Amino acid sequence: MTEAVFVQLLDLICGGVLLTAVLSLWRRELAAIVRLLVAQGILLALLAALLGAREHSTELYVAAAGVLVLKAIVLPAVLRRVLRDSGEAREAEPLVNVTTSLLAAALLTLLAYGISRPLVLLAPSATTRALPVGLAVVLLGFFVLVTRRRALSQVIGFLLLDNGITTTAFLATAGVPLVVELGVSLDVLLVVLVLQVLAARMRLTFGRTDLDELRELRD
């Protein structure tokens, strides 16, 4: 693979990762957002595979396969189950409307480019120049987390955040050591499973998963 092809593929994938994150702010149907997460998971696996092809690294191919299974198959399957059980197809009125969300997305992306300058400067290359994309997805995930009101939307925000960190890790360091990677993946999977059970309990106790119901404990 020539350098030019590598850079083009890399930019394409990273652009796709950012796009899927922004689109999930735009869509309101939760099923559509889960599909966007699947697409983002596939892109992340492709990113790992692309880096693996360049560095002839078996470890990265293994990581790519792991990312594909976890982020494009297992986690979305869990989310779909929550969605099916809850019967709530749409995000309720989010705290911030779509236009403002998209505007915020643009600002957050700019912010990500601003703060990640030192990261790029440390070792300028095609991969590190794409680093701001990872941070932008982290910020977008954070934004979803604080502005959405359905339980499932918060889980999606957490997963976006995690995808952003995974992107950053692959671009910055071609992945963390495999043992850490394994621990992280397991942790994320377990968190989502825990949240799935909690969402079911929430439905049992409150009748729905609107987080506005969570206002009993305060000072």
Partner 1 sequence: MPFEELVRVAAGSDPVAAAVLLVPLLAPMLVAVAAVVVGWRPAVAWSTVAASVAILGSGVVAAVATSDGSELTVGGMLRVDALSAVMLLVIGVVAVVATWSGVGYIDHEIAAEHTDARGAQRYGLLVPLFLTAMVLAVEASNLGVLWAAVEATTIVTAFLVGHRGGRAAVEATWKYVIICSVGIALAYLGTVLVYYASQHTGTGEAGSLDWTVLVAQADQLDPGVMRIAVPLLVLGFGTKVGLVPMHSWLPDAHSQAPAPVSALMSGVLLSVAVYALLRYRVIAVAALDGEFVRNLLLVVGLASVALAASLLLAQRDYKRLLAYSSIEHMGLVIIGVAIGTPLAVAALLLHILGHGLAKAVLFCASGQILASEGTTRIADVRGLLARRPVLAGSFALGLAALLGLPPFSLFVSELALARAAADAGVFWAVAVALVLLLVVFVAIAGHAAGMLFGAAPSGLATAAPTSTRAAAAPLVTGLIALAILGVVAWPLDVLLHAASIIAGTS
119 touches partner 1 by CB under 8 A:
yes
At which residue do the structure tokens 């693996």 appear? 52
Instruction: Compare residues 30 and 195 and give the one whose CB is closer to partner 1.
Output: 195
Contacting residue, 60, 64, 82, 169, with partner 1 by CB under 8 A: 169
**14 near partner 1, judged by CB under 8 A:** no
Closest CA to 14 of 112, 150, 151, 147: 112
How far is 174 from 153, CA to CA, in rounded Å? 30
Distance of CA 87 to the CA centre of its chain: 23
Question: What size, in residues, is the chain?
Answer: 219
Among 96, 111, 145, 210, binds partner 1 (CB under 8 A): 145
In terms of Cα–Cα distance, which of 164, 171, 161, 178 is closest to 65?
178
Which span (28-36, 46-54, 61-69, 153-161) binds partner 1, by CB under 8 A? 153-161
**Nearest distance from residue 77's CB to partner 1, in Å?**
19
* Residue the block writes with tokens 């969300």: 101
Q: Rg of the chain over CA atoms, in angstroms?
A: 18
- What gap in Å lies between CA 129 and CA 214, rounded to an integer? 42
Contact 137, 164 (CB under 8 A): yes
Q: Which stretch binds partner 1 (CB under 8 A): 34-42, 73-81, 82-90, 121-129?
A: 121-129
CB of residue 99 to partner 1, shortest distance in Å? 26
Exactly one of 116, 140, 147, 208 binds partner 1 (CB under 8 A); that residue is 116
Bridge partners (DSSP) of residue 29 are: 90
Q: Is residue 212 close enough to count as binding partner 1 by CB under 8 A?
A: no
Binding site for partner 1 (CB under 8 A): 115-119, 121-123, 138, 142, 145, 151, 154, 158, 161-162, 165, 168-169, 172-173, 176-177, 179-180, 183-184, 186-187, 190-191, 194-195, 197-198, 201-202, 205-206, 211, 213-217, 219
